[in-house]
Structure 1
Amino acid sequence: MKDELLRLENVGKDFNGNQVLKDVSFTLEEGKILGLVGENGAGKSTLMNILFGMNVIAETGGYEGNIYLNGEKVEFDNPVEALNAGIGMVHQEFSLIPGFTVAENVLLNMEITKSSVISKILGKRLETVDLPKIRKSAASVIDTLGVQLGTDTLVSEVPVGYKQFIEIAREIRREKVKLIILDEPTAVLTESEAEILLKSMRRLADSGVSIIFISHRLREITSICDSIVVLRDGAVVVERPTKDVSVHQIAKWMVGRDVDKEENKAVKSFNTINKEDVIFETKNLWVDMPGEVVKDLSLKVYRGEILGIGGLAGQGKLGIPNGIMGLFEAGGEIYFENKPIPLNNTFEVLKNGLAFVSEDRRGVGLLLDEPIDWNIGFNAMQVHNRFIKSYLGGIIKWRDDKAMRKCAQDYIKALEIKCTGERQLARNLSGGNQQKVCLAKAFAMNPKLLFVSEPTRGIDVGAKELVLDALRKYNKENGTTIVIVSSELEELRSISDRVVVVCEGKVFGILPPDADATDFGLLMSGECQINEEGEKVWLR
C-alpha cells in the first residue's frame, strides 16, 4: 500500500455568510489519481483554491478545518508557498504570456542561466538566460506529454487545445512536484487530444506524482482515476474507488437525482425545414485565425434549423464563427436574408440580427469586473438600444436599470445560474455559470441567427442538458436559427438537424445526426468527402 500524501479534514468555507464548503474530508495516496466531480457551484474550485493558497481565500476570512501534506499540517498563505511544497495547479483559464515562446512559458520563473565573467565577479543575479538549454528542457517535458509542439512557437499562435499542454508541461517541469491539480484540463481538447493527456497523466502517476483531476467528462473519470470524490452543495456525498462505478451512477450522485442516459435525439425532423429559405450563406470564406484553418468555405444555413459544425482541432470549425463575427480578419462573402453583410465589422453584423457566444468566455464573452445584469444587457443596449429610456423625442437618453435587472433575473431563473444575485460580479462566478451568462447575453439580443461556439465547455453533466434544452427551446419558441460549433460529436448529434464536418478549412460533408459514427470519423480525418449528390468520394 502506498503512503498517504494528502488528507483534508472537515474543511469549510463561506463567502459573506454563503456556505460554499462544509466538512469536506478525503485522502489521496502517493502516485494515485483522484477524480473530483460535482455540478458547477458545488465547491470544487473553491476547495482547490484553498489547497493551492489562492489569495482570494485569505482575503475573505480564510477557511475552517485542516489540511495535511505528507503527514504535516499545512496552511498556505499564497500559491508560492504551495509551489515550494510541491503542489502545482493548472487552472481552467490560461495564465500564459502570448508574446513569449512555448519554451519561455514552460520554464517561466524556472529559467536556466549561464555564468559570465561579470556574474562570476558581481553575483548570480547577473547571469544570462541560456536559451538553447531552455528549449531543450521544454522539448523534453513536452515529449513526455506525447504532443507535437515547437518550442520556438509564440503562444499567441498556438491553438487553444495545445495551450493546455503548455500549462501542464510547466507544472511537470517544477522540481520536487508531488501533487498536480488539473482543473478541467480536457475541456478545451478534442477527444484525440484528451486521450493523449490521459495517457500522460497515468505515466505521471506511475512515476509517483499524485493528481487531483477535475472534469465534467465523466467517462474520463471512470477510465483514468483510481478513486472518486463527489461534491454536492459543498459537501462530500461519495468517496470511493472508481472500480465498477458507472458514468450514470456518478451523474446521479452529482445532481441528487436520476439523470437520463445520453442518447442521440434530433429535436425535429429535418424534413420540416424549408430548404428554399436560406437565411445565411458564406461564399469562399477564409479566416486568418491563429491555430485555425478556414479557406474557400461555402455553406448555406436554412431558416429555423439548428446546424451543427464539427471537426478536429485546428481544422477550421472555431474559425468560422469568429471570422463571420469580425473577431479575426476574414475574406470572401457572407449573405444574411439575401443581403450582403460586410466582413470585419462586428457592430454591423450584430446590428443585422446576428449574435455570438464565443468559446473564449473570459477573453471575449464577459465583462469580468461588471455585474451579471450589465453583462447580460450590455450588447443589447449598445447595439439595439434596449434598456434605454428616451425623453424629448430622443434628445435625452437614460439607462433603464430596472428593466436590465428584471431581464437578468429572468435569465438567472431560466438558466439556473448559481449566484448571489444579478449584481454579483461575473469574475466571481464558476466557469459553467459564466458560460450561462454568455448564453443569456446572446438571448437578450433577440437574434434571428445565433452562433454558439462550444456551448457546454466546462459545464457539468446536470447543467449541460439544461443549456442544450435552453437552445432547443429558444429555437422552437422564437424560430431563431442556431449554428452550434462543438468538439463534442455526441452533443452535435443530440441537438442538430444537420451536422457539417469541416476538415482542412473546408466543408468535407454534411450528415444527418443519426448517420453512422464511422461516417463522421471518415470525414473528420479527411479520408473522404461527401459530394452534393450525397456520395462518398474517397481521398486516401
Structure 2
Amino acid sequence: MGDFILEMRGITKDFPGVRALDNVELKVKRGEIHCLVGENGSGKSTLMKILSGFYPYGEFQGQIIFEGKERRFKNIHDSEAAGIVTIYQELALVPEMTVYENIFLGHEIRNGRFIDWNRTIAEAKRVLQELKPDLDVSLKVKDLGVGHQQIVEIAKALSKNVKLLVLDEPTSSLNEDDSEHLLRIIKELKNRGITSILISHKLKEVLEVADTITVLRDGKLVARLERKEDFKESVIIKHMVGREIEDIYPKRKKREFGEKIFEIRHWRAYDKKLERYVVKEANMYVRKGEIVGIAGLMGSGRTELALSLFGNVRDYVVDGEMYFEGNKVRFQNPTEAIKAGLAYLSEDRKGNGLILNFDVKTNITITGLKKLKKGLFIDENKEIKIAEGFKEALRIKTSSLEQKVLNLSGGNQQKVAIAKWLFVKPKLLILDEPTRGIDVGAKYEIYSLMNQLVEEEGMSIIMISSELPEVLGMSDRIYVMAGGKIVGELDRSEATQEKIMAMAIEY
C-alpha cells in the first residue's frame, strides 16, 4: 500500500468573489480508505468534483496524476473511463427504472444493436452478490429504502470496473443499521483492492474506517494524519475548525421552565395514500423555555408527527386534541400554524426548507413579507437590514445577500433555513434533523443558538434527531417513538443511549 494511486498537485479553484481551493495537495495510497474531512465550505466537494471531471481541465489550476499518468478530464465520462467513480450525496438513480436497469444505465450490455436483458440481469445479480445478494434486481428503485439505493449506486460503480471509489457523505441520510452495513461494504471493497475516498462529517465513522485522513479548512490543506499516529477525534476537530471544542454540546444554564405552551393528547394521523396510520398514539407536552427531544428509529413516525402538527402538510386524517398556549386548536394549514406561533424546520432543507435558486436575502424574509410591506410594495431597505442582521447574528458565510442559496455550503444553508423561521418569531420551533449533513463547527453554532433561543428569547423547541448523542446532549426531556406511537418519556438526568434504544426497539 506504499505507492500512490492518486496525486492532486497544487489544485486551485476560484468562483466569483471566493477562492474555493488554494494550492491543495492530496495523495491517496493504492488500496486504502482515505477520508476527507473539514467544515462545510472547506472545499472537500469542490476538490472531488475536479477529480470527477465535473469541473473540467482548464477551469482550475494544478495537476491530477492517476496511476502514474497526468489526466486532463474534460467531463465525468473521462474520469469514469479511467476508473474513478463518484457517488454523490444526492443519488443519481432513476426511480421508475429497475435495479438492473439502473446498474447498467449509460453502459448497457448489448447484443448487436439491442440491449441483452438476460445478460444484464445476470450481471446485476453477480455485481450485487458481495453487496446485497438477496436484493431483488427486478424491483423499481423508488420502492427501495435509502440504504438499498446506496448499495445500487455502489453496484453501478463496480459494474464500471472502478479503481477509485469516491463517496460524498454516503451515510448522511441512513439509519444506524444501514450506515454500519455500508461501512462494512467499504471495508470489503478495500480487501478486494479497491481504493476509496470517503467524505464524511461523522467523525466516529471516519475513525472506524480511515487509513489516512486529510483535513481541509477554508480551501487549504491543514493536516494529513495516518492511522499509525493514533487518530483522535479532538485532534481532527482542532484541525477542522482551527480551535479546540472542549464540549461539542454547549453547557445549559440551570433554570425553572414556564407553563405548558403546547400539548397533544391521543393524537393520531392516518395517511390516505399509504392507507395506514403513520401516527397511532401520541401524548406529549412542551413547557416554555424547554428543549424536548424526539428519538426513534427510521420509520417510527417522528417526521409524520411533526407534519401533522404543523398545519397537516400531508393532508392526513388527524384526530385527538391539541392545545397551544392553553387554547384548544387544530391548524388547517401551515399559514394558520405560523400565525399562532408554531414553526417547522424540515429535515429536507433542499427539497422543502429553501428555494435554492433564490438569494440569501429572499430566503430569509420570505416567511414574513407582510412585515416588510410599505404600501403596495416591499420595503427593500428594511428587507436588506433584516437579512443582514440575521447574516451577522448566525454567522452565515456568504459573499453577499444576493448570492444564491444553492451555492452555499450545507451548514450555511441550514443557518439560512433557521433564520427564515426566526424572522417570524415563533413561540414553538420544531427542528427536524437540524444538523444533518453539516460539520462539527456548524453543529456547535446551531446548538449554541438553540440554547440562546430558549434561555434568552423564551422560545420552546421540539428537536427530532436520529443522532442519540445529540438528543442526549441537547434535550431537557426526551420522548421515544416506535411504530407510530410515543412509547416512553425520559428526563435528561436519567436518559442514556441504552434506555432510548431499548424503548425504540421493544415495540
Give TM-score scaled by structure 1 length: 0.85
1:380 aligns with 2:363: no
Give the C-alpha shift of residue 440 in structure 1. Answer: 1.3
Give the C-alpha shift of residue 92 in structure 1. Answer: 2.0
1:51 aligns with 51
Contact 1:309–1:483 (CA<8 Å) still a contact in 2?
Answer: yes
Contact 1:97–1:155 (CA<8 Å) still a contact in 2?
Answer: yes
| Counterpart residue type for residue 177 of structure 2 | S
1:220 aligns with 2:208: no
Give the C-alpha shift of residue 258 in structure 1. Answer: 1.1
1:302 aligns with 286
| Counterpart residue type for residue 254 of structure 1 | M
Give the direction of change, closer, same or farther, for the CA distance of 1:354–1:143 in structure 2 (3 Å limit). Answer: farther
Please show how residues 28-107 of structure 1 align to structure 2 within 5 Å. Answer: 28-55=28-55, 62-107=59-104
1:247 aligns with 2:236: no
Give the C-alpha shift of residue 336 in structure 1. Answer: 4.2
Cα distance in 2 for partners of 1:477, 1:163 equals 43
| Counterpart residue type for residue 94 of structure 1 | L
SS of equivalent residue, structure 1 residue 144: coil
Give the C-alpha shift of residue 166 in structure 1. Answer: 3.5
Deviations 1:356-411 (A, max 9, x none): 11111111111111101111111222xxx122212xxxxxx211222222222222
Give the C-alpha shift of residue 340 in structure 1. Answer: 2.6
SS of equivalent residue, structure 2 residue 302: coil
Give the C-alpha shift of residue 150 in structure 1. Answer: 4.8
Q: How many residues align?
A: 499
Select 1:523's aligned residue among 495, 503, 506: 503
Contact 2:308–2:318 (CA<8 Å) still a contact in 1?
Answer: no
SS of equivalent residue, structure 1 residue 332: strand
Cα distance in 2 for partners of 1:471, 1:441 equals 15
Deviations 1:464-494 (A, max 9, x none): 1101111221122222221111111110111
1:358 aligns with 346
Contact 2:257–2:287 (CA<8 Å) still a contact in 1?
Answer: yes
Please show how residues 146-185 of structure 1 align to structure 2 within 5 Å. Answer: 146=132, 150-172=136-158, 174-185=159-170
Deviations 1:91-110 (A, max 9, x none): 12233333334443333324
Contact 2:125–2:133 (CA<8 Å) still a contact in 1?
Answer: no
2:328 aligns with 339
SS of equivalent residue, structure 2 residue 10: strand
SS of equivalent residue, structure 1 residue 295: strand
Give the direction of change, closer, same or farther, for the CA distance of 1:351–1:278 in structure 2 (3 Å limit). Answer: closer
Cα distance in 1 for partners of 2:424, 2:131 equals 42
> What is the root-mean-square deviation in Å for CA atoms of aligned residues?
2.6
Contact 2:309–2:331 (CA<8 Å) still a contact in 1?
Answer: no
Give TM-score scaled by structure 2 length: 0.91
Give the direction of change, closer, same or farther, for the CA distance of 1:98–1:323 in structure 2 (3 Å limit). Answer: farther
1:316 aligns with 2:301: yes
Cα distance in 2 for partners of 1:402, 1:10 equals 43
Deviations 1:434-482 (A, max 9, x none): 1221111121221122111111111111111101111221122222221
Contact 2:94–2:141 (CA<8 Å) still a contact in 1?
Answer: yes
SS of equivalent residue, structure 1 residue 221: helix
Contact 1:265–1:494 (CA<8 Å) still a contact in 2?
Answer: no
2:406 aligns with 427
Give the C-alpha shift of residue 237 in structure 1. Answer: 1.0
| Counterpart residue type for residue 408 of structure 1 | A
Select between 448-457 and 296-305 the one with higher mean Cα deviation.
Answer: 296-305
Contact 1:13–1:63 (CA<8 Å) still a contact in 2?
Answer: yes
Give the direction of change, closer, same or farther, for the CA distance of 1:497–1:159 in structure 2 (3 Å limit). Answer: farther
1:203 aligns with 188
The percent of aligned pairs where both chains have the same amino acid is: 36
1:367 aligns with 2:355: yes
Cα distance in 2 for partners of 1:165, 1:293 equals 29
Cα distance in 2 for partners of 1:30, 1:196 equals 23
Cα distance in 2 for partners of 1:155, 1:322 equals 25
Contact 1:321–1:451 (CA<8 Å) still a contact in 2?
Answer: yes
Give the C-alpha shift of residue 263 in structure 1. Answer: 5.9
1:439 aligns with 2:422: no
SS of equivalent residue, structure 1 residue 478: coil
Cα distance in 1 for partners of 2:123, 2:393 equals 50
Give the C-alpha shift of residue 303 in structure 1. Answer: 3.1
Please show how residues 122-133 of structure 1 align to structure 2 within 5 Å. Answer: 124-125=112-113, 127-128=114-115, 130=117
Deviations 1:301-346 (A, max 9, x none): 2232211111112222232223433342422236242333245x33
SS of equivalent residue, structure 2 residue 85: strand
